[in-house]
Each structure stands twice: as C-alpha cells, then as structure tokens.
C-alpha cells in the first residue's frame, strides 16, 4: 500500500474496511456521499459464477444493472440511503414465463421493500425497548410515518397471529384500561369504538419463582363477554393449562373465569382489596364531616387535615403522624366512627403483611366473619362485598400470593407508550404497538 493512511485504494476494487463498516455480507461499497439530506452509500455484489432462472432453472444471461434506493438504519447521526446497483438477468428459455429478473437478497431487503431489513429491525427494537414514536424514528430515517409503518406492520401482524406465543401460560391476569377519550361510535362510522380495552397478561412464574409479565392480547370493551370470547378462541389446551386467574373486583371477569376456566383458582388482586378498605374509610370520614359541620371538609377541620394520613399504612406513619391521628380522633366523640373504620381498614391491609400465608388467612377469615355485623354501614357493606368474593379473596393464600401486580405494570407501559405517541387513532395499530411494547410478540 503506497498510502498507509488510505483504506480505499484496494487492488481488488473493494475496500474491506468500508465493507466492514457497511455490515451487509455479500455487498461491497463502491461509493459514499454526504450532503444535507444525509449519507448516500452505493453498493453492489460480486458477480456469481452461474445464475439460474428462478422459474425454470435455465442459466440466465447478464443484462446490466439497475440502481434501487433503500432506506437504511441511521448512521453517524445522519439518515442513510443505500443505493444498490442490482444485477438484472435475462432468461433465454422462450417458454419460460419469466423474461427477466433482478438479484434479490432477503438479508438486505424484501422484494419491493422501501426499507432494508435492518432498518425495519432497528425501528422495531426502538419501539420495543426505548418507547420511541413512529414519527420520531421516521425523522431519523428520513422518511414519512406511513412509509415506516407499512414496513413494520406486516411483521407485527405475523407475530401477533402466531398461536405458539400462548403456550405455557399457567397464570393469567386481566384488567382494563382507557385508550381514547373521543367518540365511541363504531370505526366504520367515524368513531374509534369502545373507550376501554381489556388486556390479558401472562403472569406465569419462571424457574426462580419470579413473574415475567407479558401482554398476551387486547380486545375492545370491558365486559365478561369480551373476556369469555377471547378465552373460548384460545382453545381447550390453553384453558386447561391455566391454573391461576387473577382479577380486580368486576363480576364480568369473574363470570368469564367461572365459565371458561373450570380448573383455575380465581384470585382477587390485593391492591384492589386494600383500595376497597381505604375507600370505605374515606366515605365514613366524609359522612361524619357532613353530619357534624354540615359542609365538606375545610382547611381547619380536624378530619379534613388527616385525610391523607388515613390512606397510609400504619407501619409507615411516624410518631408525629400517629399523634396527629390520635388528636383528630379525640377532638370530638363523634369521630369514633372514623377511628373504628380506619382500624378496620388497617386490619384488612394486614392480611397481606403477615409472616406467613396461614396467618394471613386466619386474619382474613376473621374479617369475613365480623365486618358484616359492624354498626358502621360502610364497613358492614365492605364486609358483605368481601363475602361475595370470599373464594377469590382467600385464593391469595392458597396460591402463594398470586396477584395482579404484573398486569398493572403492563398497564403502566401502555400508558407511557400512549403518552409518547400523543394518542392513537386506529385500534388495530394500537393493539399491535402495545403487544410489541408489552412483550407479547416473539421477535
């Protein structure tokens, strides 16, 4: 090499270092340009020894080249256009239906694709792991939103249609979330359909006993029928494999579980159970406030000043906060209802903080036996509600602490993705994006 600082004066015509930077086996760099629009990399392949017609197999004749421009993954902070000098071939067989054809390499790009395979893979990875928006990635690629999504969508649809992703599910969670706040008219009438999507989440534990939550599917609506239909479509093998089904206190989901998952244990989510107790305390506080003062809580009212402390767990309170609670409870004899309700809620919360599940179950059974007879109407109603969900409430202690926490974490990922995208219009596109982000697709 006469110039040791140059890497492109190769006797063979191709530079190995440039090809290494390109990273596409079989293609060689023949030219690079950079302008305000980004990088333009011109590539070609080595001529094969023999090329056969893909239809008849007869040896084809070379017929020049044709330049095809592809959008590649961004590089060096710039969009990249790959100009592939494709070889064209002619079939000499007069009876062959193929007159001419061009070289193809699925590793580089699918036939008639606008993006390279690695640009598509890069975009999917950015959406899946970095919560990137399609519009943001389109800017980095130097193309439009529609061009990028047309390349990504078929891959996501193929992965979503793969039924093998439902294999091995033994613990199933379900919850709903709101995906839009506009018209609920059907899509064909200009609306976006139901505001809610029901999400099914795989909560199966791994070999180390940890839950690796992944979103299995989203169906429009929040109803028992939506959940029932989805379970029915999964088939007998899937339904028989589900051993635990967690849910929030919604009878529609419970009816679907009872109808379709005969062998599964329904488990009421611990968070929602504690939330019921906290809501009962808040209702008691508001009622007592109205009975005593005749108005809603104000800044200097004792009960209003402890409204946030009443929602906290007793073990998290400091000595000063405990003193504030005690002062408010003793400020008026009529505050005793609030105190009793708060202690009941703390007792309900304690079932999930016992040293073992057996102790927690004993406390839970005591709550089920005593709360319905409480003279405070809100606590009595709470006791009746828990008794209606008795089996699902106690199911927590027979399943090793199964809960819907993984489902709520998936909802958090969905909420983040929806905010990054600033909302969605198409429910099908929304479902595919959330399945990707929620780990439900095998890619």
State residue 4's pLDDT score.
47
d(CA 23, CA 21): 5
Residue 341, Cβ density class (10 Å: 0-12 exposed, 13-18 middle, ≥19 buried):
buried
In the predicted model, residues of the chain with pLDDT beneath 50 are 1-6
Please give the angle made by the CA atoms of 97, 99 and 100, to the nearest 5 degrees.
130
The residue written with tokens 């504690």 in the block is: 274
Round to whole Å and give the CA distance between 202 and 200: 7
pLDDT, residue 335, reads 94
Judge whether 65 and 88 are in contact, CB under 8 Å. Answer: yes
Distance between CA atoms of residues 124 and 132, nearest Å: 9
Round to whole Å and give the CA distance between 108 and 116.
Answer: 6
pTM for the model:
0.88
CA dihedral of 239, 244, 247, 251, whole degrees rounded to 10: 60
Q: How far are the Cα atoms of 7, 26, 42, 323 from residue 14, in angstroms, in the given order?
A: 10, 12, 12, 81
Q: Measured between alpha carbons, how far is residue 142 from residues 41, 43, 73, 283 in Å?
A: 14, 19, 10, 56
Tell me the C-alpha distance between 345 and 360, whole Å: 15
Rg, Å, the chain Cα set:
31
Q: Give the angle 167-169-175 at the CA atoms, nearest 5°.
A: 125
Q: How far apart are CA 67 and CA 344, in angstroms?
A: 76
Of 144, 126, 127, nearest in space to 135 by CA: 144
Q: What is the pLDDT of residue 1?
A: 39
CA distance 23 to 387: 64
């Amino acid at each position: 090499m006469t110039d040791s600082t140059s890497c492109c004066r190769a006797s063979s015509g191709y530079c190995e270092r440039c090809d290494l930077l390109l990273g596409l086996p079989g293609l060689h760099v023949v030219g690079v340009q950079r302008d305000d629009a980004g990088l333009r990399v011109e590539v070609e392949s080595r001529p094969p020894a023999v090329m056969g017609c893909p239809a008849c197999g007869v040896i084809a004749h070379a017929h020049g080249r044709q330049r095809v421009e592809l959008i590649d993954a961004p590089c060096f902070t710039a969009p990249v256009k790959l100009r592939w000098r494709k070889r064209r071939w002619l079939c000499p067989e007069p009876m062959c239906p193929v007159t001419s054809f061009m070289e193809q390499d699925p590793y580089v790009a699918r036939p008639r694709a606008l993006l390279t395979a690695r640009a598509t893979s890069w975009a999917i990875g950015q959406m899946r792991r970095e919560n990137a928006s399609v519009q943001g990635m389109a800017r980095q690629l130097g193309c439009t939103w529609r061009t990028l999504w047309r390349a990504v969508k078929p891959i996501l649809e193929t992965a979503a249609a793969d039924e093998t992703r439902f294999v091995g599910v033994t613990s199933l969670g379900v919850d709903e979330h709101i995906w839009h706040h506009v018209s609920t008219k059907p899509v064909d009438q200009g609306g976006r359909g139901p505001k809610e999507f029901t999400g099914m989440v795989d909560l199966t534990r791994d070999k180390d006993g940890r839950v690796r939550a992944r979103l299995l599917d989203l169906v429009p609506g929040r109803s028992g029928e939506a959940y029932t239909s989805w379970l029915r479509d999964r088939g007998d093998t899937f339904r028989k494999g589900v051993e635990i089904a967690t849910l929030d206190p919604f009878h529609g989901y419970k009816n679907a579980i009872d109808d379709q998952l005969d062998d599964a244990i329904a488990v009421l989510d611990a968070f929602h159970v504690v939330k019921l107790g906290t809501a009962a305390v808040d209702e008691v506080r508001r009622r007592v406030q109205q009975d005593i003062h005749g108005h809603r809580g104000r800044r200097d009212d004792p009960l209003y000043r402890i409204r946030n402390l009443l929602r906290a767990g007793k073990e998290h309170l400091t000595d000063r906060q405990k003193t504030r609670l005690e002062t408010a409870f003793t400020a008026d004899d009529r505050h005793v209802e609030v105190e009793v309700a708060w202690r009941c809620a703390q007792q309900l919360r304690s079932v999930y903080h016992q040293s073992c599940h057996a102790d927690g179950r004993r406390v839970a059974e005591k709550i089920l036996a005593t709360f319905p007879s409480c003279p405070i109407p809100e606590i009595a109603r709470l006791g009746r509600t828990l008794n209606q969900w008795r089996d699902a409430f106690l199911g927590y202690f027979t399943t090793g602490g199964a809960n819907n926490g993984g489902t709520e974490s998936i909802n958090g990922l969905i909420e983040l993705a929806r905010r990054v995208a600033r909302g969605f219009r198409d429910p099908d596109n929304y479902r595919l994006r959330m399945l990707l982000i929620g780990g439900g697709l095998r890619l």
